Amino acid sequence: MQRILDIALNDLRIIFKDRSIWINLVILPIVISVAVGYANGAGFTGGSVSLRVDVFDADAGAMSAQFLDAMRAGNANLVLCPMDQTAADLCQLGEEALTAELAQTRLEDKVSLATLEIPAGFGAALARGEAVSLIYRSNEDATAPSYILQAVQSAATRLSGAQIAVQVGGQVADSLSFLQFSDDADRVAFLEEIRGRAEEGWAADLITVETVQAALDPAATQTNGGGGFAQSIPGIASMYVMFTVLPAASAFILERKNWTLQRLATLPISRAQILGGKLLARFVMGMIQYAVLFGFGALALGVTFGSQPLTMLPVMIAYTACVTALALALTTFITTDMQAQGITLFMSLTLAPLGGAWWPLEIVPEWMRVIGHISPIAWAMDAYREIIFYGGGIGDVIVPIAVLLAATAALFAIGVARFRFSK
């Protein structure tokens, strides 16, 4: 073990002798992850989500306005378009008027998350105590809890509750002999008072609405659509782990050329110790790379990595081990430094975007997502996103970790079987 550590430390010393390592280890990955973070939407949503809902209010009465207010009260992140349009184009409508066709396109493009149609005569029907239906359309996953639908339902409950109170109150008042209305207007005013009181009562009791807001994960709020730094930090870090670890192939070729690898083979140490030491050095480089970027993300960008960030450590270890084994396996298929540099660059630049290092795989077509999983980055990103966006724990990332470790074992076996100390 001592020999393995000595070899690893010697390699690290050699790696860090070259000052330019800091450019690749710190400066470039930070610059790129910040840039990619912005490209993925960081800074635009600014820490809170806009849940855009396109509304067609055919009633345009006091009652429908009340209904929309109740919805807004139900979820502070709701933006009802076009009513809530701002100068900053919060509705992303520009100068356009909202039509049924446009709403459909917006829904498909996920500009809006839902549409709501309030029929004409909504207020009148309610006043008569008749049932009315609203039409709610969304492209959300039917199995996932919808924050918008909850707001709509709570508004509906609230308004119909108030209406019931008005009707019941009216009937009760009519049957009470001592309550005499001077005229019809007087009666309407009385009923309106009941409605107001009832609404206040409902409002004070809007527990469901409070729950909706409490259930919103702060990390999820911050990164609507899975963008921003919480995507770019693990993505770019994983890509840069490749950039730092795969040059092991070059280093092996160089050591063979310098004959130091052959000299090591004549020393009273086993080949397992030599390979172990050299791979350990590269593995450590990969983990340093992760530490640099996640540290920067947490401290400088204020990214929060889910509710159990320590769960990311086994993912980092499994992924870095996998890339280290990949480097060893690649080494056995090449003979020159040029080939080594070429294959390193090629591997990193195909496996990174394929595996979702640059953008979340959620936005690519299904078949690309499947193909993407030949990249170890895809499995690592699955795990990071589970932890960061959905508050996953170790139980939720067992599969990607197991896949990465299995690939590590396979690549390592290939590498060890084919590795030669001399040309």
Partner 1 sequence: MQETLVQVRGLSKQFKRDNGETFFAVKDVTLEIRRGEIFSLLGPNGAGKTTTISMISGLLTPTQGDALIGGNSITKNPLAAKKMLGVVPQDIALYPTLSARQNLEFFGKMHGLGGKTLNQAVDEVLDLIDLGDREKDKVDNFSGGMKRRVNIGIGMLHKPQLIYMDEPTVGIDPQNRRRILDTVLRLRDELKMTVLYTSHLMEEVQEISDRVGIIDHGQMIALGTVGELIQKVGEEDRLILKVGEQPVAEPLLRRIESEVATATRAQYERREIANGDSGALAAAEGILTVYATRGRRALPDIIRLANETGVDILSVEVREPDLEAVFLHLTGRALRD
Among 143, 177, 182, 266, binds partner 1 (CB under 8 A): 266
- By CB under 8 A, residue 3 contacts partner 1: yes
Does 197 help bind partner 1 (rule: CB under 8 A)? no
Structure tokens that stand for 272 in this block: 């397992």
Under rule CB under 8 A, residue 333 binds partner 1? no
**Which residues between 392 and 421 bind partner 1 (CB under 8 A)?**
421
Residue 10 or 304: the one with the smaller Cβ distance to partner 1 is 10
- Binding region for partner 1 (CB under 8 A) out of 258-266, 318-326, 360-368, 406-414: 258-266
17 binds partner 1 (CB under 8 A): yes
Interacting span for partner 1 (CB under 8 A) from 70-78, 119-127, 231-239, 262-270: 262-270
Distance CA 274, CA 7 (A): 7
Residue 17 or 97: the one with the smaller Cβ distance to partner 1 is: 17
> Is there binding between residue 19 and partner 1 (CB under 8 A)?
no
Query: Smaller CB distance to partner 1: residue 48 or 260?
Result: 260
Contact assessment for residue 122 and residue 61, using Cβ atoms and an 8 Å cutoff: yes
Show the site string, 79-118: x = touches partner 1 by CB under 8 A, - = not: ----------------------------------------
- Residue 303, sorted as left (phi over 0), alpha (psi -120 to 50) or beta, turns out to be beta
Sequence-distant (≥ 6) Cβ neighbours of residue 184 within 8 angstroms: none
Contact between 263 and partner 1 by CB under 8 A: the answer reads yes
- Is residue 279 within 8 A of residue 322, CB to CB? The reply is no
Site for partner 1 in 268-327 (CB under 8 A): 268-270
Kindly state the DSSP code that residue 98 receives in the 8-state scheme.
Answer: P
From residue 45, alpha-carbon distances to 63, 80, 227, 283, 419 in Å are 32, 17, 10, 36, 50
Burial of 220 (0-12, 13-18, 19+ CB in 10 A): middle
Distance CA 305, CA 390 (A): 10
- Shortest distance (Å) from residue 299 CB to partner 1: 32
Instruction: Give least dist CB 271 to partner 1, A.
Output: 9
Stretch that binds partner 1, among 194-202, 260-268, 280-288, 329-337 (CB under 8 A): 260-268
Pick 17 or 142: Cβ nearer partner 1: 17
Sequence-distant (≥ 6) Cβ neighbours of residue 235 within 8 angstroms: 33, 36, 352, 356, 357, 358, 359, 377, 381
- State yes or no: residue 151 binds partner 1 (CB under 8 A): no
Helices 337-354 and 229-245: angle between axes, nearest 10 degrees: 160
Task: Tell me the CA distances in angstroms from 46 to 154, 227, 344, one per residue in order.
Answer: 27, 12, 37
- Please, which residue, 87 or 423, has the CB nearer to partner 1? 423
Tokens of 420: 């030669």
Residue 262 makes contact with partner 1 by CB under 8 A = yes
For partner 1, the binding residues (CB under 8 A) are: 3, 6-7, 10, 13-14, 17-18, 258-260, 262-270, 421-422
